[in-house]
Amino acid sequence: MSNIEPIHYTIRLEPDMERFLFTGQTEILLHAGRPVTEIPLHAKELAFWECRLKVGEGSAECPFSFEPLKEELTVRLPVEMKGEIHLTLDFMGRINDKMAGFYRSRYALEGEERSIAVTQFQESDARRAFPCLDQPRHKATFDVEMIVDKGMVALSNMPVAEEEELGGGKRRLRFATTPKMSTYLLFFGVGDFEIIRDKSDARVRAATTPGMSEFAGLGLDLGRKSLLFCEEYFGIGYPLPKLDLIAVSDFAFGAMENWGAVTFRENLLLHFADITSKAGEQRIFEVIAHEIAHQWFGNLVTPSDWEYLWLNESFATLFGNRVVSHYHPDWEVWAQFLNADTNRALDRDAMKTTVPIEMPGGEKVAINEVTAPIIYDKGASILRQIESYLGQDAVQEGLRRYLQKHAYDCAASHHLWEALEEAAEKPVTQMMKGWIEQAGHPVVEVRREQDRLLLNQRRFTYMDEASESVWMIPVNVRLFDDKGGTREVTTLLDKEKGELDIGNDVVAYKVNAGQTGFYRVKYDDKDNLEQLGRLVSEKTLALEDRWGIQNDLFAFVKSGSISVPEYLEFLIHYRDEDAFLPLAGMAGSLFQTYLVMEGDRKEKAAALGRDLIRRLLERIGYEPGPGESHTTSMLRDQVLLPAVVYGVEEVADFAMSRFDDLMHGEPVHPDIMKSVMQAAAWTDRGEAFGWFKQRLAKAESEHERMNVLAALGSFQDKASIDHAREFILSEVPNRNKFVPICHMALNPKALPDMWEWYLAHLGALEQLHPIHYERIIAGVVPLGGLGRQKEVEEFLADYVREKGTAEDTIHLALEKLAIYTRMRGSAQES
C-alpha cells in the first residue's frame, strides 16, 4: 500500500439508533505513485454494495473482493492508472456493542435505558466504520456528513459547517474539513448529548449524556488550563477551532485523544463534589492533560508506524504529569510518578518477557497488559531521565523544533533524537537508541575501593537471563562526608565497567541520587548500605532516595539475591518515616509480600504493616482533616484496607462505624469512602452485600460505582465471595466486570480458589473486551496460581496452542507466578 496514499475522504453516514445499523458512503481521493490495477483498502465487519471509479464527468463500476481474515477490500480498476484516483463505495455496518469501531454506549435516564453511538478507532478500528487505509502514516483530510434524527446531536472532530433540513424528522449535518490526520484520530458520534462551553475559552466544550453536564465544570476548567499550558510550552497554538471533552459510559480504555473530540470514561471527566476523592480529582486532571498533550504528540505529529507509538504515549504520560504539577506543585506529582509510573515500569521491565519501548510492529502493536507499562510508563521515565541529563531548557527547545518541523506529518524516533541533539549539542541519538531499542534496563553494581567507586552494569531481570546489553547511563551520586557535608558527582557509564573518583572523606554514598535514572542500584559494600540505613532513619536522605533504596531492595527480593527477612529487617530504618513517597512505597511492597508469603513470613510482614500503619494513623488521624496535604489524604486511603486485613482492630471498628453512617444516609468523606466500603466488606456482618447491590443500582456517578465494585472484590467470608462473583458475572456491566475481579485477585481470602473460579467461568470471561480479559488473566494467574504452578502452566500452554488468545499476557503472568513461587520457596528454606 506504500505506493498508494489517500489525499481526502468524504464520509456520509446515516445511523439507525433503533436497529443499531448504519448506511454509509465513502468517497476517497487517492494518489498512486506508480501505475496500479488494484486498490487495497482496509475494512472489517462491513457489507459493501457498490464501488465506482470517477471517470471524467461520469463513473464506472469497479469489481471488488473482500477477505475478512485479512481485513482487506481489494478494488479492481478497469484500466491501469497512475496519479489521482477517485473511488466511491457504498456500504452498511452495525453499530456494535464491542466498544470498538462505531459502537453504542448505554446509559439510564429516569429508569429507561438509552444509547448514544460513538467511535473508538485506535489502533486499527476505523476500518470497522468505513473503508480506508488504516495505518497512521496514511494521513489525509476528512469531510464528515451525518443524517440524524432532528432531536439528536451529532459531533465530530470539527464544528458543524452546514445544516440542512431533510423532512421526515431528519436533518443532514456537514462538518468542516479536518486538518491532515490519521484515520485512528477521526471521531463521529450521535445521541442526546448535552453540551456546555467553558466561560473563559469558548474553544473548550464538554459533551455528556442528559443530566450529567452539571458535573463537567471541573473538567472544562482543567481542559482549558491544560490547553493553555501546552500552547505556551510547545510554542504552537492549538490548530483546531474547538476541543470537545466527551463523557462516554461504555468505554474500554480510560480516554482517547481524537483530534478535537476527546472521549473519556465518565469517572475520568465528571466530578461529583460529595463522591470524587482527591485521588479521583487528580486522576481526572492527569487524564485530561494527557489527552490534550496528544493534540500535539500524536495528532499534529503522528508516528509513521505503530512501532513508534511511544512517541505519542510516553510524551503524553510525561506531560500529563507536568501540567498537573505546574498548577498544583503541592500535590507531590513527581513523587507519585516515581511510586506509580516508574515503579510499574521497572517491575514490568524486569521480566524476561519484556519488550523494547520501540516495538517493531508493522501493521499492529496492541496496547495491553504487556505493552502499556513499557510504552507509557517506561517511556515517560526515560524521557524524565534524558531531561535530567540534557536540562529542561534544551529539551523544550528540541521538542519545539521537532513539532514545528514535522507538523501535520509523520515522524520516527530518529527525528526526535536529531531535534534534541541539535538543541542540546550532546550525543542524544547514541544514548537513546540503547534505551528505546533494547529490551530491559540495567542494574549498576557498586563497590568502593579507597577513594574510587567501581561501577559495573548488567541487565537486571527477576529470573536469570543471559544478556550482553549495555546502556549509556547518566549516573548521579550523592556523597556524604565525615564533616556532615554533601556533594554530588556525575559520570556517564557507557561501557560495562567504569569508575568514579569520590575523595577519601566520604562516609556514605547514594547512587542514582534523586531517582531520576531508570536503573537499579546494588551496593556490594554492606557498610555503605548500613550507613544509608542510618541516613534513612535520620531523614538526611532526600525522600526520593529513601524511597529508592527500599524499592531496589524489594526488587532484589524478587530476583532472589536477598531474602525476605533481610528486606524486612532493613525496613526498621523507616520506623519513624513520615513522608508520603517512602511510606507509600513500603506499604505496597509489604502488602505484596503478605500476599505471597505463608506462615511466619506472612505474619512478620503483617506485624511490620500493623506497626507502620498504626504510627501513620496516630500522626494523621483516621478522618481527613481541613487543610491536610493532598498526599496525606491519598496515603490514608491506601492503608486503611491493608490495616484491616493485617488485623488492626481499631481501624476495623472505625471503618464499620463509618459504614454504618453510610447505610443510614450519613455522609462519609470522599477521600476514605472507597476504603471504608472495602473494609466493611472484609468485616461484613451479613448486611454489606445487599447494601452494595442497592447502591450500585441507584448510583448516578461512575465514581461511586467504582467504589462499590472495589468493595465487591473485598469480602473475607467465603459465602459472600461466591455471592459477589455470581453477581459480577450476571449484573455488572461488561465494561466494569474486570474491576471487582482484579480486586479479588489481590484479596488473600479470595485467592485460594481464584484459579478454579477462572476455569469454571472461562467462557463468560472470554466474552469481555480483550484488554479487560487480559487484565483478569494478569491479575488471577500470578497469585491465584501459587501452590499449583505446574497445573496452571500446563493448562495455559494448551490454551495458547489451541486458541492463541492473550498469548503475551499469559507468558507474562506465568513468569510472575514463577517469581512469586520462588520468593515463597526461598522464604521457607531460610
Q: Which residues are catalytic?
A: 291
**Residue for cell digits 488521624?**
621
CA distance linking residue 789 with residue 791, whole number of Å: 6
CA distances from 339 to 325, 333, 545 (A): 15, 10, 12
What nine digits make up the cell of 527?
A: 557498610
According to DSSP, the β-strands at 64-67 and 58-61 are unpaired
CA distance linking residue 579 with residue 701, whole number of Å: 33
User: Which residues pair with residue 510 across a beta bridge?
Assistant: 478
Other Cβ atoms within 10 Å of 530 Cβ, number: 14
Q: Of the candidates 234, 258, 30, which has an alpha carbon nearest to the alpha carbon of residue 131?
A: 30
CA distance linking residue 228 with residue 204, whole number of Å: 11
Q: How far is CA 689 from the centre of its chain?
A: 30
Longest dimension (CA), the chain: 90
Residue pair 760/729 in contact (Cβ under 8 Å)? The answer is no
CA distances from 147 to 47, 131, 456, 530 (A): 19, 19, 66, 72
Q: Of the candidates 113, 114, 103, 191, which has an alpha carbon nearest to the alpha carbon of residue 154?
A: 191
CA distance linking residue 420 with residue 401, whole number of Å: 8
CB under 8 A, 24+ apart: contacts of 327-332 = 327/225, 327/229, 327/285, 328/282, 328/285, 328/630, 330/629, 330/630, 331/282, 331/630, 331/631, 332/580, 332/581, 332/629, 332/630, 332/631
CA distance linking residue 411 with residue 296, whole number of Å: 12
According to DSSP, the β-strands at 243-248 and 261-265 are parallel
What nine digits make up the cell of 108?
A: 439510564
Q: Of the candidates 340, 593, 354, 337, which has an alpha carbon nearest to the alpha carbon of residue 462?
A: 354
Radius of gyration of the chain (CA): 28
At 557 the three-state DSSP class reads helix
Give Cβ neighbours of residue 57 (< 8 Å, ≥ 6 apart). none
Q: What DSSP designation does 561 have?
A: S
Instruction: Extract the runs of DSSP E, i.e. beta strands, from 250-405.
Output: 255-256, 261-265, 301-303
CA distance linking residue 191 with residue 350, whole number of Å: 46
Amino acid (one-letter) located at 26: T
At 86 the three-state DSSP class reads strand
Q: Of the candidates 687, 740, 685, 732, which has an alpha carbon nearest to the alpha carbon of residue 714?
A: 740
Residue pair 328/283 in contact (Cβ under 8 Å)? The answer is no
Q: Of the candidates 255, 212, 219, 270, which has an alpha carbon nearest to the alpha carbon of residue 120?
A: 255
Residue pair 700/684 in contact (Cβ under 8 Å)? The answer is no
Cis bond before residue 123 (omega within 30° of 0) = yes
